[in-house]
Structure formats: structure tokens, C-alpha cells
Amino acid sequence: MKHDSSSAGAPSPRGRRPGHRDTRERIREAARELFLADGYRDVTMRSIAAAAGVDVALVSYYFGSKNGVFSAAMSLPVSPIELLDVALEGDPDTLAERLLRALLAAWDDPTVGVPLQTAASRAIGETALSELVAEMVEREIVAKIAERLPGPEPYERAAIFVTQMSGVIFHRYLLRVEPIASMPVEEIVRRLVPSLRSTLEI
């Protein structure tokens, strides 16, 4: 109940007493507006707290990290960046396959995939959101994969790789083009990994 008291003076969205849910939601909405206006990099835990009118410790308490607030602000049940971080760990030789499998596992899972599809569909039509998603892809996905690649021009190779992965998202989850939309995971892996591996190496 201590957070009830910390937000005591604030008006409740539902007209009852202020509480956890109201505060959390207020932070989430303030973060969403900030991210859409300023992009990912320029938003801080502190600027989110200020916009929501709460202490920065409360933002940490509810969401852990900036990436956690971002996922909540985008209505994503898990952080795509954390899924990526897990898939990045391991043998460099199977990096392409691990990343493809992680993508398919997340987007094929209805509890994760449906919110991701909603976010991606909206991003195509809304300029502020598409700029934010593009920035996330550039800074958080491409950049992190590039760090794992030996050799010259890792960023460009990672960008082409992510472009090809996005083709899978586009055809399997957004447009639902057959046979990709209902192709078994093992078949996608078998057909796509050799080409994804060559992309990482060129």
C-alpha cells in the first residue's frame, strides 16, 4: 500500500482513490507520448517520471528499465529486446538460426505475437510510431547483432540480415502469404538459415 500513499494527491482516472493501477497507467501513457514525440534514445527514466508527475524510483519499481517502460507503452507483453538478448548469447556459428527461431517463437505465440502484429500494423500507418519502431530496429536490434559480427562493416551486414528477417514478419504475420504463413517452423529454418548465414558473412 505504500505506493497508494506516495500517489495520494493525484486524481484517479476512475474517480475512486488513486492506486497502483492508476499510477502505473499514468506512467505508461506519459511514456508513450514521450517516446512518440522524442524517439527512443532521447527519452530517459527521469523524463518519463517528470512527465507522469511521479518520482523516478516509481518508474523503476513498475517497469524495471527504460526498455520495460517502452514495451508496456507499446502494449507488448514481453520486451522484444530481451528476447533478442537471450538469442544473441551462444555459439557465433548458429547465430542466424537462433535469431530466426527466436523471431518465429515470439511471433507464433499468440500472447506475444498478436500484440506484436498490432504494433507492427499500426507502425506502418502512423508516422510517429513508424519512426519510433525504425529507431528501435536500428539502435536496439541491428546495432546489437552487429556487435556480434566479426569482420568489416558489421552494421551493414546486420541491417541486411534484419531486413530479411522482417520479410518473414511481413509475409507470415502481417500479410499472411502462403505457404509462408502456415509453413512449419522447421521448414522455415531449413529453407532460410543458409541464406541468412550468407548475409551475415557478406
Residues that bind a second copy (CB under 8 A): 120-125, 130-131, 133-134, 137-138, 142, 155-157, 159-160, 162-172, 174-181, 183, 187-188, 190-192, 194-196, 198-199, 202
Q: Are 185 and 104 in contact (CB under 8 A)?
A: yes
Nearer to a second copy, 32 or 157 (CB): 157
Nearer to a second copy, 48 or 162 (CB): 162
Nearer to a second copy, 71 or 199 (CB): 199
Count of Cβ atoms closer than 10 Å to residue 67 Cβ = 17
The secondary structure element, H or E, covering residue 194 is helix 185-201
The least CB distance from residue 27 to a second copy, in Å, is 27
Helix axes 95-108, 80-88, angle to 10 degrees: 150
The least CB distance from residue 2 to a second copy, in Å, is 42
Q: What gap in Å lies between CA 162 and CA 160, rounded to an integer? A: 5
Nearer to a second copy, 55 or 138 (CB): 138
The least CB distance from residue 131 to a second copy, in Å, is 8
Q: What gap in Å lies between CA 110 and CA 68, rounded to an integer? A: 20
Nearer to a second copy, 88 or 119 (CB): 119
The least CB distance from residue 28 to a second copy, in Å, is 24
The least CB distance from residue 95 to a second copy, in Å, is 15
Q: What gap in Å lies between CA 192 and CA 170, rounded to an integer? A: 15
Q: Are 201 and 136 in contact (CB under 8 A)?
A: no
